[in-house]
Amino acid sequence: MIIEMEKGHPTTVEAIRKVAARHGNTLEVIEGSEVYDTLHVIGDVRSLAGQADYLANLPGVERVWRISSSYKNIARVVGDGKRQAVHRLRRVVEVSGPDGLVRRIGGGKHIFLAGPDSVQTEEQTLTQARMLATMADRLKIRDRMIFRAGAFKPRTRPTDFRGLGLEGIAILDRVRQETGIPYITEVMDHTLVEELADHVDMFQIGTRNAQDFALLEKVGNSGTPVMLKRGFGNDAEEWFNAAEYIANQGNLDIVLCERGVKTMFAKNGYNRFTPDLNVLRHAKEKTILPVAFDPSHAAGDDRLVVENLLASLAFLPDASITEVIHAESFRVEQLCDARQALLIELYERAVEAILAFEAGVAPLLQQVEDHFELRRGATQEAGAR
């Protein structure tokens, strides 16, 4: 923590020294040449940080900066206790299915999560899952495929279709048994986490619940892999700290997912949310967690889904999660997110494009990435726990 303050306030400096000592920190005063001095608070400042507002209000204090991150469990760069920075290895999140295959998110190959917005009937869910399984087998990417579908749906209006609930989970269990492919589904209620953890392969925490701290902690306790969507009004720090709530409970199997944020261009404009692609790089620089992109909710329109998905590839995301539909004729029946559902045959073209990109372009981009990694001095590596 760094505190910038006007010269000539010895009482404040002493007060800060005392508060810092109470939290186990020490103070170093660096004299500036003109109006301001700089105070360095040394040590783990996480508990002192709770008093940052108090410090900022003391006479003569100009500004308080928190330098070290509050998300220590997932941070890419941590201190080694001897004033050396350590760059930690990236996390690989594994999700396996009854087919015996392990999907490795962050393992170097793009992982494809796809399926309907929600489970409506067993027939619709099974039809989609079978089509995706066939596609995955045809393209030899079964070990990279995870099925998505919501059983609990967060809806803006209480009278809209809110999902089949536990009946939907039972359908997903049967569909998984039939296809062999693991599934991800949203959990919204912290009191259901334990029960659902016995069924689901991966939890999804939606954008509306991205800061439901009781839910985050419960999912952290469950140990089940989780995809954490970024809250649509959250800045990157808030998102990473939300992930820290999960990690802090001992669960590091977290995938961060950018799905678009609210801006003045969203809603009634040309997109539903504004995809923040730059944050994919930022998330990879700041955390050890794999990152995913959701082109569907960013677009809100099936004509924009493939474009968004391909645009995100330049940022080398570890995975994508896409909403699809098995037949145009079902659109009229679809009770949630019908407009953005991409026909599976079009999704297949996008998957082929991603595979071509992976083979032809990604290695070149990786060289660019490696250059910047080296420039950051990311030479020391240590295991993430």
Residue 11: CB minimum distance to ligand PEP, A: 50
Query: Quick check: 62 and 4 in contact, CB under 8 A?
Result: yes
Tokens at 384, concatenated: 């993430």
206 binds, among ligand PEP, Mn ion, none (CB under 5 to 8 A by kind): ligand PEP
Q: What is the DSSP string of 138-195?
A: HTT-GGGEEEE-BSS---SSTTS----THHHHHHHHHHHHHH---EEEE---GGGHHH
Q: Which is nearer to ligand PEP, 125 or 207 (CB)?
A: 207
Q: Site mask, Mn ion, residues 304-343, x = CB under 5 A?
A: ---------------------------------x------
One residue of 97, 106, 150, 168 binding ligand PEP per CB under 6 A: 150
Q: Does 229 participate in binding ligand PEP (rule CB under 6 A)?
A: yes
**212 counts as binding ligand PEP under rule CB under 6 A:** no
Q: Which is nearer to ligand PEP, 1 or 315 (CB)?
A: 315
* Region near Mn ion per CB under 5 A, out of 31-39, 65-73, 113-121, 309-317: 113-121
* Rg over CA atoms, the chain: 23
Closest CA to 306 of 114, 128, 155: 114
Hey, what long-range contacts does 93-96 have (CB within 8 A, 24 or more apart)? 93/225, 93/253, 93/254, 93/255, 93/289, 93/290, 94/225, 94/253, 95/146, 95/182, 95/184, 95/201, 95/202, 95/225, 96/182, 96/201
Q: Which does residue 295 bind out of Mn ion, ligand PEP, none, counting CB within 5 to 8 angstroms by kind?
A: none
Q: Restricting to residues 266-325, which ones interact with ligand PEP according to CB under 6 A?
A: 294, 297
Provide the 3-class DSSP secondary structure of residue 101.
Answer: coil
User: Which one of ligand PEP, Mn ion, none is in contact with 229 (Cβ closer than 5 to 8 A by kind)?
Assistant: ligand PEP
Residues at the contact surface with ligand PEP, assessed by CB under 6 A? 117, 150, 154, 206-208, 229, 259, 294, 297
Residues at the contact surface with Mn ion, assessed by CB under 5 A? 117, 337
